[in-house]
Structure 1
Amino acid sequence: MRTLNLGILAHVDAGKTSLTERLLQAAGVIDEVGSVDAGSTRTDSLDLERRRGITIKSAVVSFALGDATVNLIDTPGHPDFIAEVERVLNLLDGAVLVVSAVEGVQAQTRVLYRALRRLGVPTVVFVNKIDRAGARTDSLLRDLAAKLDPAMVAMDTVDGLGTARAASEPRERDAAFAEDLLEALLDDDLLDAYLADAATSPNISGMSHVARDAALDSAFEARVAKARAHPVHFGSAITGAGVDGLIAGIRRFLPGSEGDATGPLSGTVFKVERGPAGERIAYARLFSGAVAVRDRVPVGGRDAKVTGISVFEDGVDRPRARAEAGRIAKFRGLGEVRIGDAIGQTPRLRTEHFLRPALETVVAPVHEPDRPALHAALTQLAEQDPLIGLRHDEARRELSVSLYGEVQKEVVGATLAEEYGLEVEFRESTVICVERVTGTGAAAEFIAKAPNPFLATVGLAVASSDGPGIDFRLGVELGSMPFAFFKAVEETVHDTLREGLHGWQVEGATVTMTHSGYWARQSSAHGGFDKSMSSTAGDFRNLVPLVLMEALREAGTVVCEPLHRFRIELPAADLGGVLAALAKLRAVPEPPEIRGGRCALEGTIPAEAVHGLGQRLPGLTSGEGVLESVFERHEPVSGLVPARPRTDANPLDREAYLLAVSRRVTGA
């Protein structure tokens, strides 16, 4: 049986959760459509989600659609929870991108579409809320073409637009429809044949109109499958208008796939939650192979015994003895499983990743005795969302978390209060910068040569690279020392570069191991293992930070701050005041687009200024200004370079570092 892992994605409030309810009703999974406002939807299961009326955690629900099983994943729309969306994108066979017929293409819509396009996820667009006053069709299609992709083809016509009786019907197969398809295909041969009604291509020579229509449909479907064209359906999730047409579009353009249950086991974990007893429950998609209860499987480099499996069917997850390729399942018994772990062989995943959060805040307990419990709670939240980036500054006894925005801060606070019984307070959010390597540097220390106190030889060279992360390479023979020592070096390189010369995470660097050496295992006179004469992985873990930071100091780094792209829609009469405010916030606006009495203004602004702009904009525009912003890139900081205190022993201060390591080893 075919499986379609389908994502529902949209800007917040575009109506994707309501659309999910309609699809479940159409499939017979539920009798009545739940309400977001009433908190009765199937996929928003958290109390916090129901109260706030927004999706915070991705939710999976399954139903049958013809001969296919659909695993429908409802994702958050608010940009503060983009990490949830990121984890889903690697699982999808297809997506429905929901756009409001009133608000149109919004900031998050563009972010999501760019990711879907780069990942090659076949996507159907659903224009929701055609029953709302102010709903658009023709101008919205132009916006879709201009802001997302020219290859957008309307599959429906709408009657009663902007009223409660709004309905959509499939378009007629007329010349205008054929021309829209041809423009999306960019196929000159088919275009000539249609316009000239002549056999200009050997592929369609002698075809009737019916045959040419079939060829055109086939070509369009093939282009949709490659995420290079997109059918657009219109409807209303609230009234149900157009939902049948969307379902037909999903069946036609997003067929799903059949997994190979007999192949080697390969899957990925995209969500982790805690069960009633505190045990970890992993949500995973299997790309190949099968898993049965009591099987021992490799998970994230460790072996674990599966103690329970639930498979999503008919709107709920049901206990099953086995899960096969193509399915999304919940697994128990996988021990210390984390988001991103591979089950079996590492699957070939799409490589797109949203950037890390741009904000950081210190979380402090209201009651000091709650500090250990707060650390444990935040550790669990970091398991569910690795991008929360928990940092523990032991010297200052501070806990910091990374955030995408102020809404996420509120959610973290509410979660700690409701699920863990912890009252907390947050300090003002600060911007997270990164460090980029600007040159090249190298350093090495050798066994038994001062000032190296460790039984290890390590040489490292650092250079800038175009990639976003850290690329570790070997410039020595792999057989020159035990693999465990190489692994210790690589892991410590990544750990150390989480805090660069100025305390920020280092990005865009290649680190090459240029020297290696160790003392083989030695025994004392009585035949026992003599650590004082034998190298251990700990020697390499302790030495690498000293060598790496010396090489990094020679290479140099530049601190870069995050910039956001903003879009402001405002009355044209208020443009002058807004431009003056933007100048004070170090924003760089582009030439405004003025249409009648309204104005659209785009540009870039430092991330630290976005919140302040949002607070000032209503007063500058009599409450009519609308601000959207999304992360765009990092740029070197101008002026005073910000620094962040290190959270552990500082290898830039050799004496203090060696003292801290000595205390750590001896337990002093």
Structure 2
Amino acid sequence: MLVWVTHKTDIAIKNARNIGIIAHIDAGKTTTTERMLHYAGFTRRIGDVDSGDTIMDYMKQERERGITITSAAITFGWKDHRINLIDTPGHVDFTIEVERSIRVLDGAVTILDAVAGVEAQTETVWQQAARHGIPRIAFVNKMDRAGAGFGRTVREMRVRLGCRPVVVQIPLMESPSGAVGAGSSDAEFNGVVDILSMEILRWNSDSKGAKMSKSLLDAHYPDKELYQEAVKARVALVEQLSALDEHIIELFLTLEDHMAIETKDLQAAIRRLTLSSTIVPVLCGASFRNIGVQPLLDSVVNYLPSPDERPAALGRMSDGKVIEIGAGGPKERLCALAFKVIHDARRGSMVFVRVYSGQLNERAQLWNSSTHTKERANKLLQMYAMDVEEIPHITKGNIGVVLGLKDTRTGDTLLDAHDPRKDLALSGIKVPSPVFFASVEPISTSDEKPVDDAIRALIREDPSLGVRVDEETGQTLLGGMGELHLEVAQERLVSDFKVKAEMGRMRISFKETMRGAGVVSEVPTWEYDRELLGKRGRARVGVSVERLERFEDQGEDRSKLGRSSQRNDVMSADLEDHDGNEIMILISEQTPSTDEAGVRAASEKAALSGTVIPSGTTDLPMPILRTAVKNGMLAALSRGPLLGYAQTHLKVRLTDLHLYGSDSTPAAISSCVSAAVSEAIRLGGNSSSGEDGNNSVLLEPIMDVRVEVAEKDVGTVIGDISGTRRGRVLSLDGQSREESQVEDQEEGEFQLYAPPDLTYTGSLSALSTGGIATMADRKSIRAQMPLSSMVGYDSALRALTGGTGKFAMEVIGYGEVDYDRQCDLIKEMRGG
């Protein structure tokens, strides 16, 4: 099926494109990608999602379900350019795949369903791309479907995505009966009109879209309405560009004719404005019918950036200094980011990397600045979905796979082993916290170790999975982002890792924290003195724990780990984020003077800066000392006193540290800190809260939910959200076509153009039979709801809306469980 086309290994960086395909589920991402590969000459035939033979959806679970589960990378050539493309999932359970792909991409193609318009998950992935400043182009797919609305989708982009959509193509509607005019009752989507070149593009169905014909659209074209609309579209395009680009306004003032400005000048302006994320070029097509894909590839090359056209990546040193990566030219040392890890039964761990500077060579010695370990790149691979090709090196700006890395995880920074900047770290990847969990039970005792090993490998692949052991029941609990996420994980344990295990029913993953916002609990002195295996361990610490008031979802972002503020007398003073907790470890590197005045001065300075001057003696290096303290804090936070859930939104600070020479081992220090933090949490909260453990409170995940329903169902759905679901409605939007046009006309900065769907969608009867009218009149409800009330919401929403409602959700934070419900949950889970 694959055609191995040889491309230049060291293609110029200006001709490279690192792009991703992002969209709501079922918008046509994989279908579009399969056409791209075929027309680029990479495959002999086009894979079909329904048949389960696509290149990009290569996993067994993907082909069985017909959806994308894991992001797949592939490299192919198009018109002397190399395109590194990543096809991402559209299902909310696999949002980590979108997040880590977008982190390393330079541009993105957003696929929109012409019938459904801007859907709930479209907004989510759009915001993910916007957060990273990724330039985007939009492709309105499925224009051949009944009820398709190109103009309506463009208007929705403006209203719901908040971008400036610029139409560069309009749909070509033709009647098989020969009737002139797109308004004919039997009009069909047969191609597109390129507004820049004023050409009609048609695709030959016998060649499966491989052959495309062009014809000039001018005043002599039989369909006068089509020509007039194309002229209107080009005038609007020039006006839009003139308002934003100085070069186009100069040309217009010189030529004084919208139609006289050349295509190359318009393309250059669109490129400039797209790279700055000022506009979003909008194209249209029907990928399943092989229409519009080649112009989309041309737009990727013409409008999306090469790696050297993106802002330089930023790295941070442990002292807080920020360094631009890749700005030093070709001789700069290697710096790469590991953004994905997959397990291969034959090759072992395969680590996907994006090289930001230097060159990654085969057999190179590497330094992982995130784990502070040495690694060796045994082999380098170029990925073609599930197929690979060995390559000698990965150059700056490119994406590849490294074999042989044992400790590297998602978000780790890889440097040259001889680079003196051992603590340089790139901004990391935010990993969402698991919100559901289910028990994983080995079938027999002999299966326990294989199951544990498989779960560790699975979590290394997918960091949005999590695992913990319930100390009361001894069960292994696997956490994930949803029911489908955990179901796929279980299937992979059995089919990919060949282990025998069963998964229990899904539960909500709660968290714990101290009761009472703003409460500070302090343990001034806590001493540890024990003998273990004939060796004495001693340490004394003081800690304070404060309940933070914010409850947004932190996840884990490796860019925040190791942040430091430099002081003259502080070796390492940092505020680290761990799952919503803030950890402060300020330890002085200097030994205070022995005279009384020196001790007093050092103490006053330490008090002002929050620095701890360790007393006693020790031979431990400062990094090991800090690591021991941090490990103790994390151990205490990993399990709460109520039900053993991880604790969050606590600020933990070291306030005192006394060491006892060789007796103060790292293990003794960690144990002492862990016990002190646990005691501070136990003592914290309201003094009137009663028995031990009630000073803590359960937190449940709160979801940001976007529900799309027909206008007639709004009242029913809102009533269900506010009542049964214990939710809070934040907004209700969804403008009519006329309201949207009025708003755009009144907005002087950007005059939106969108072709009328009445003209380009067929007969008036189509508007009245539910197709377009249903979608045009739909409303978008945004609400916040506890995750526990969202279990089974998919089927409930279908029942409330007659099967027309859709929704998407994501974790935005955690909220306190009320006391009565908390008591019920504790009783249920403890079996009381």
User: TM range, normalised to the smaller chain?
Assistant: 0.7 to 0.9
1:123 to 129, 132, 136: 136
User: Post-superposition shift, 1:365?
Assistant: 3.7
Q: Tell me, yes or no, if the aligned pair for 1:170 and 1:245 is still in contact at 8 Å.
A: no
Query: TM-score with structure 2 length normalisation?
Result: 0.68
Deviations 1:68-126 (A, max 9, x none): 32111111111111111222121101111111111111111111111111210111111
The share of aligned pairs that are identical, in percent, is 26
Letter of the 1:490 counterpart:
K
1:618 maps to 798
Give the direction of change, closer, same or farther, for the CA distance of 1:170–1:112 in structure 2 (3 Å limit).
Answer: same
Maintained 8 Å contact 1:24/1:315 = no
Could you tell me which runs of 5 or more consecutive residues in structure 1 were left unpaired when the two chains were aligned: 199-204, 522-533, 646-668
Distance 1:430 1:352 in 2: 24
The root-mean-square deviation of aligned C-alpha atoms, in Å, is 3.5
Q: Which residue of 1 aligns with 2:44?
A: 31
Q: Report what 1:488 is aligned to.
A: 628
1:654 paired residue number: none
**TM superposition shift of 1:422:** 2.1
Cα 1:630–1:460 shift into 2, 3 Å: same
Asked if the contact 1:390–1:402 (Cα under 8 Å) also holds between the matched residues in 2, the reply is: yes
Name the counterpart of 1:445: 525
For residues 653 and 31 of structure 2, the distance between their equivalents in structure 1, rounded to whole angstroms, comes to 51
> Is the contact between residue 105 and residue 147 of structure 1 (CA under 8 Å) also seen in structure 2?
yes
Question: Closer, same or farther in 2 for the Cα pair 1:164/1:376, shift >3 Å?
Answer: farther
Name the stretch that deviates more: 344-353 or 387-396. Answer: 344-353
Alignment partner, residue 195 of structure 2: 171
Contact 1:431/1:607 (8 A) holds in 2: no
Question: Does the CA contact (< 8 Å) of 1:130 and 1:234 recur in 2?
Answer: yes
SS, match of residue 560 in structure 1 = strand
Aligned twin of 2:452: 375
- Out of 520, 539, 542, the position equivalent to 1:459 is 542
- d(CA) in 2 for partners of 1:117 and 1:46? 29
Paired residues for 1:79-478 under 5 Å: 79-160=92-173, 165-172=189-196, 176-177=233-234, 179-180=236-237, 183=240, 187=244, 218=268, 220-258=270-308, 261-277=330-346, 279-299=348-368, 300-312=371-383, 316-344=387-415, 349=426, 353=430, 355-367=432-444, 370-419=447-496, 420-433=498-511, 435=513, 438-445=518-525, 454-463=537-546, 464=548, 468=554, 469-478=580-589
In structure 2, what residue type is equivalent to 1:88? S
**Distance change (3 Å), C-alpha of 1:507 and 1:164:** farther
Distance (Å, rounded) in 1 between the aligned partners of 2:645 and 2:284: 47
Contact 1:286–1:328 (CA under 8 A) maintained in structure 2: yes
Q: Which is bigger in relative contact order (C-alpha 8 A, separation at least 6)?
A: 2
State the match for 1:499 in structure 2.
Answer: 639
Give secondary structure in 1 for the equivalent of 2:808.
Answer: strand
Distance 2:384 2:802 in 1: 51
Paired residues of 2:21 and 2:109 also in contact (CA < 8 A): yes
CA contact 2:270–2:281 (8 Å) conserved in 1: no
**TM-score computed with the length of structure 1 as normaliser:** 0.84
Offset from partner CA, 1:262-307 (integer Å, 9 cap, x none)? 3222112222223335732212111112232322211331112222
Contact 2:632 2:672 in 1 (8 A): no
What is the CA deviation profile of residues 511-558 of structure 1, one whole-angstrom value per residue up to 9, with x for unaligned ones?
33222232333xxxxxxxxxxxx3211011111112223334455465
Look up the equivalent residue of 1:409 and give its one-letter code. L
Distance change in 2, residues 1:336/1:357 (3 Å): same
CA apart distance, 1:180? 4.9
Match 1:565 to one of 704, 707, 722: 704
Q: Secondary structure at the match of 2:792?
A: helix
Q: Deviation string for 1:22-45 (max 9, x for gaps)?
A: 111222111211111111111111
Contact 2:163 2:280 in 1 (8 A): no
CA separation in 1, counterparts of 2:682 and 2:303?
Answer: 54
Give the Å deviation of 1:247. 1.4
TM-superposed deviation, 1:141 = 0.7
Q: CA deviation at 1:630?
A: 3.4
Q: Which residue identity does 2:621 align to in structure 1? A: P
Q: Which amino acid aligns with 2:500?
A: L
Q: Distance in 1 between matches of 2:648 and 2:277?
A: 31
Larger radius of gyration: 2
Which blocks of at least 5 consecutive residues in structure 2 are unaligned?
1-11, 175-185, 198-230, 309-325, 416-421, 531-535, 555-579, 591-613, 615-619, 686-695, 737-772, 827-832
Work out whether residues 436 and 506 of structure 2, in 8 Å CA contact, stay in contact via their aligned partners in 1: no
Which whole-Å CA distance do the structure 2 matches of 1:178 and 1:543 have between them? 73
Q: What is the CA-CA distance between 1:486 and the residue it aligns to?
A: 1.0
Q: Could you list the per-position Cα deviations for residues 608-629 of structure 1 after superposition, in whole angstroms to 9, with x for gaps in the alignment?
A: 1112332323333333433433
1:558 touches 1:636 (CA, 8 Å); kept in 2?
A: yes
Residue identity opposite 1:600 in structure 2 = K
For 1:561 and 1:381, the matched residues in 2 are separated by 25
| Cα gap change, 1:357 to 1:425, in 2 (>3 Å) | closer
Deviations 1:203-238 (A, max 9, x none): xx9999767998776554333213332111111221
Structure 2: how far apart are the matches of 1:135 and 1:369?
Answer: 57
* Residues 18-67 of structure 1: CA deviation (Å, up to 9, x unaligned): 11111112221112111111111111111111111111111111012334
- In 1, distance between residues paired with 2:31 and 2:423? 35
Alignment check: 8 A CA contact 2:413 2:426 kept: no
**The 10-residue stretch of structure 1 (136-145 or 156-165) with the greater mean CA deviation from structure 2:** 156-165
Kindly indicate whether residue 680 of structure 2 is the aligned counterpart of residue 551 of structure 1.
yes
The answer to whether 1:628 aligns with 2:699 is: no
Match of 1:537 among 646, 666, 670: 666
Q: Residues 639 and 573 from structure 1, CA distance in 2 versus in 1: closer, same or farther, beyond 3 angstroms?
A: farther
8 Å CA contact 1:447–1:454 kept in 2: the answer is no
Aligned-pair distance for 1:318?
1.4
Offset at residue 434 of structure 1 (A) = 5.5
1:263/1:288 contact within 8 Å kept = yes
CA distance in 1, matches of 2:27, 2:779: 21
In 2, are the aligned partners of 1:470 and 1:508 still within 8 Å (CA)?
yes
Q: Which of 57-66 and 108-117 deviates more?
A: 57-66
Q: C-alpha separation between the residues in 1 aligned to 2:815 and 2:456?
A: 31
CA contact (8 A) 1:185 1:229 kept: no
How far apart are the structure 1 equivalents of 2:435 and 2:500? 25
Change (3 A) 1:394 1:433: closer
**How many residues are matched?**
624
Tell me: CA distance 1:357–1:102, structure 2 relative to 1, closer, same or farther (3 Å): farther
Question: Cα–Cα, structure 1 residues 314 and 511, in superposed 2: closer, same or farther, change >3 Å?
Answer: closer
Which deviations, in whole Å up to 9, do the C-alpha atoms of 1:243-270 show, x marking residues without a partner? Answer: 1221121112213125655322211222
**Once the 2 structures are TM-superposed, how far is the Cα of residue 341 of structure 1 from its aligned partner?**
2.2
Q: Contact (CA 8 Å) 1:63, 1:314: kept in 2 or not?
A: no
| Larger displacement relative to structure 2 (441-450 or 579-588) | 441-450
Q: Residues 43, 164 of structure 1: CA spacing in aligned structure 2 closer, same or farther, 3 A cutoff?
A: farther
